[in-house]
Amino acid sequence: MKKIGVLTSGGDAPGMNAAIRAVVRKAIYHNVEVYGVYGGYSGLISGNIKKLELGSVGDIIHRGGTMLYTARCEEFKTKEGQLQGIQQLKKHGIEGVVVIGGDGSYRGAKALTEHGFPCVGVPGTIDNDIPGTHYTIGFDTALNTVINAIDKIRDTATSHERTFIIEVMGRDAGDIALWSGLAGGAETILIPEENYTVKDIVDRLMKGYERGKKHSIIIVAEGVGSGVEIGQKIKETANLDTRVSVLGHIQRGGSPTAYDRVMASRFGARAVELLMEHNGGRAVGIMENKLVDYDIVKAFEKTRSVDRSMLNLSKELSI
């Protein structure tokens, strides 16, 4: 391949820029031209495509968000939209595309490949929820943002002897809640993969209070339900002074951590290698600390399960 494209799609994640930079620099290093598709699949359909040079990706490795912008695009779920996108790519002589995004974006990449246009997926989502890889770009940064917030809220919880409910991102996957809860010393962690009862939460809280604990932190992944409602139920059942903090979009932004920059660089470069080998329909990832690539279809067929030993550990450590 002599010309490839790169796009970011779906929810933005810190480290996407570092991945774009890696794609562009790796390709140019190997005499392959790179085109940026601006605005995800929406920009692909409308033909918002521009050539990128070495300097185009200068000074972005440390920035959150994505310089190529991102979008959600319903039209791309249709065959017409996908074929229109391929036409736009062909107009520029582009022969393959690196798609950086989450599982929705992967579905788009798979569709393009099935229409005969090779694409490689790079896992970019703060949720860490793509099957076939142990890590997705942005997770470490999001986690550290959440920990910073928990630490600050803990100061207030301790001073006022209060129970705090902190709602974090994670609609279907509990990784952010689980890892941040463990790292932040939370008393209880609620994740979408596991049922809970208010009685269990209150029993744990009471046990803590009986041994002299004066405050508690409860982490709730958004997929479990509204932190505000769960806080209200705990307040009514336990007669405790509870406060709720919904962290929201601060979890998606910010300068990527060193780990995210390194992973983004490795994933981005590997994706270019695969395209140079004419391997479309693949996704890159990391397993047991080794870079891997696999059929992108596997990303939908496999189910990803949360690490239950971590949930059990958090229960043991927060007694």
* HSE-CB of 156 using CA atoms within 13 angstroms: 13
12 catalytically annotated: no
Residue nearest to ligand ADP (CB): 104
> Which one is catalytic: 12, 127, 140, 260?
127
Instruction: Using the minimum distance from each CB to ligand ADP, give the nearer residue, 104 or 185.
Output: 104
Which burial class, exposed, middle or buried, applies to 227 when counting CB atoms under 10 A from its CB (0-12, 13-18, 19+)? buried
For 65: left if phi > 0, alpha if psi spans -120 to 50, otherwise beta; the answer is left
Instruction: Using the minimum distance from each CB to ligand ADP, give the nearer residue, 43 or 231.
Output: 43
Helices (H), 161-224: 175-183, 198-210
Q: Are 224 and 195 in contact (CB under 8 A)?
A: no
- Partnered with residue 220 across adjacent β-strands are 167, 190
Of 51, 259, 23, the C-alpha closest to 122 is 23
Q: From the CB of 103, what's the least distance to ligand ADP, in Å? A: 5
Q: Are 242 and 162 in contact (CB under 8 A)?
A: yes
Tell me how far apart the alpha carbons of residues 123 and 136 are, in angstroms, rounded to a whole number: 5
Instruction: Using the minimum distance from each CB to ligand ADP, give the nearer residue, 73 or 201.
Output: 73
Q: Are 89 and 44 in contact (CB under 8 A)?
A: yes
Tell me how far apart the alpha carbons of residues 246 and 27 are, in angstroms, rounded to a whole number: 41
Of 71, 79, 70, 74, the C-alpha closest to 111 is 79
| Nearby residues of 307 by Cβ (< 8 Å), 6 or more positions away | 178
Q: From the CB of 127, what's the least distance to ligand ADP, in Å? A: 8
Instruction: Using the minimum distance from each CB to ligand ADP, give the nearer residue, 11 or 208.
Output: 11
Q: From the CB of 106, what's the least distance to ligand ADP, in Å? A: 7
Structure tokens at 317: 């450590």
Tell me how far apart the alpha carbons of residues 236 and 278 are, in angstroms, rounded to a whole number: 60
Q: From the CB of 42, what's the least distance to ligand ADP, in Å? A: 7
* Rg of the chain, C-alpha, whole Å: 22
Q: From the CB of 39, what's the least distance to ligand ADP, in Å? A: 11
Q: From the CB of 273, what's the least distance to ligand ADP, in Å? A: 23
Instruction: Using the minimum distance from each CB to ligand ADP, give the nearer residue, 16 or 32.
Output: 16
Instruction: Using the minimum distance from each CB to ligand ADP, give the nearer residue, 126 or 205.
Output: 126
Residues in contact with ligand ADP by the rule CB under 6 A: 9-11, 41, 72-73, 76-77, 101-105, 107-108, 111, 125
Catalytic residues: 127
